[in-house]
Amino acid sequence: MSETIAKKTILSGIKPTGSLNLGGYLGAVKNWVALQEDYNCLYMLADLHALTIRIDPAVLRKNSMELFALYIACGIDPEKNLLFFQSHVPQHAELSWILNCYTMFGELNRMTQFKDKSAKNAENINAGLFTYPVLMAADILLYQSDLVPVGEDQRQHLELARDIATRYNGVYGDVFKLPEGYTPKVGARIMSLTNPTHKMSKSEEDENGTVNLLDNKDAIIRKFKRAVTDSETCVRHAEGKDGINNLMSIYSAVTGKSFEEIEKEFDGRGYGDFKLTVGESVAECLAPVQQKYNDLISDKAQLEAIYKRGAEQAGYMAMKTLRKVYKKVGLIPRA
């Protein structure tokens, strides 16, 4: 029991706005698996966050169940972690409103992701997109999270969560724990295969730039064969070699080999040989994930039992924080 109490709490989540890709797997989910032995981990499907864009309801439901099954197929053990849908724990939305009242308009206006997404979706600049970071802060602070796995594109949101918590604590005492960011050392930022200066993304316009976890072996190898490289033929990690650097990062992440070992392995061998090997290694890495996913997705009852249990346990934890927040601001305790 004392060992469990001593563990730090980690919370993270992914929006079900598209298929889980290799970047999300190597940069986030694979690292989550390594954390589950040493931390109390909560992993959510951030389906409320997905609503800031217009998405077909049937597609959202399909993506959500697919992603939930993939979490488990990737090695996230529901017996060791809490797995749940964000929308199944209403305290997320409740705390978000309270925190909105302790967040300054100017802070939200400075969020670079809001500016970027507004530029890309000029016809749908909604209030949810603007206050998205406050809901993210609620996600984190509800569970008194110690660590939050974040990429560089989300670090600004984490800092805002800390600022909101500090402001609230300054008025009402130490209600919220201030979370720290956690960035994995390997595979933290996997880039597009066709545009290696940009992160591999679910919203990639060129389907050849993104490897989805459910792509078959032929599709995976075909995409790697088409990967952008450079005019050289030497496999080495160096400035200005974005395509090769990205392929080396991917190969390193799926094999555990260092850049130095990779350079020695492919000394005197061309890019074609290298790209084929990377593609085959990725396909081999994903094969057991795909097999387990196929078994899980056909057993809806098992998945439902897992996410119901996760939501109940997460809701119990979240309510402890929310009761304290409500009491501090002067709201009448609910019966």
* Bridge partners of residue 212, in order along the sequence: 21
What gap in Å lies between CA 80 and CA 90, rounded to an integer?
A: 23
In order along the chain (335 residues), what is the average pLDDT of each group of 10 residues?
66 87 86 85 94 92 94 94 96 97 92 76 82 95 92 84 96 95 68 92 82 96 95 90 94 92 93 96 96 94 96 97 96 87
Q: What is the pLDDT, as a whole number, of residue 185?
A: 55
Two tokens at 161? 């969560």
DSSP secondary structure string for all residues of 204-240: -SSGGG--BTT--HHHHHHHHHT----S-------TT
Element (H, E) at 42: strand 40-45
Q: What is the pLDDT, as a whole number, of residue 2?
A: 39
pTM: 0.85
Q: Which CATH class is domain 2-183+299-329?
A: alpha beta
What gap in Å lies between CA 49 and CA 117, rounded to an integer?
A: 13
CB atoms within 10 A of CB 132: 22
Please say if 328 is a catalytic residue.
no
What gap in Å lies between CA 162 and CA 137, rounded to an integer?
A: 8
Q: How far is CA 199 from the centre of its chain?
A: 13
Determine which one of 8, 80, 117, 324 is catalytic.
117
Please say if 199 is a catalytic residue.
yes
Question: Measured between alpha carbons, how far is residue 67 from residues 41, 52, 89, 250 in Å?
Answer: 17, 18, 18, 21
Q: What is the pLDDT, as a whole number, of residue 305?
A: 96
What gap in Å lies between CA 235 and CA 127, rounded to an integer?
A: 47
With 0-12 / 13-18 / 19 or more C-beta atoms within 10 angstroms meaning exposed / middle / buried, residue 329 is middle
Judge whether 143 and 318 are in contact, CB under 8 Å. yes
Judge whether 23 and 159 are in contact, CB under 8 Å. no
294-303: long-range contacts, CB 8 A cutoff, minimum separation 24: 296/69, 296/72, 296/73, 297/65, 297/66, 297/69, 300/65, 303/65, 303/68, 303/69
Instruction: Give domain limits for the chain.
Output: 2-183+299-329, 207-294
Q: What is the pLDDT, as a whole number, of residue 188?
A: 54
Judge whether 112 and 156 are in contact, CB under 8 Å. yes
Note the CATH architecture for domain 207-294.
Answer: Orthogonal Bundle (1.10)
Determine which one of 8, 199, 225, 324 is catalytic.
199
Q: Which of 270, 274, 278 is nearest to 220 (CA)?
A: 278
What gap in Å lies between CA 238 and CA 253, rounded to an integer?
A: 18
With 0-12 / 13-18 / 19 or more C-beta atoms within 10 angstroms meaning exposed / middle / buried, residue 119 is exposed
Determine which one of 15, 62, 80, 202 is catalytic.
202
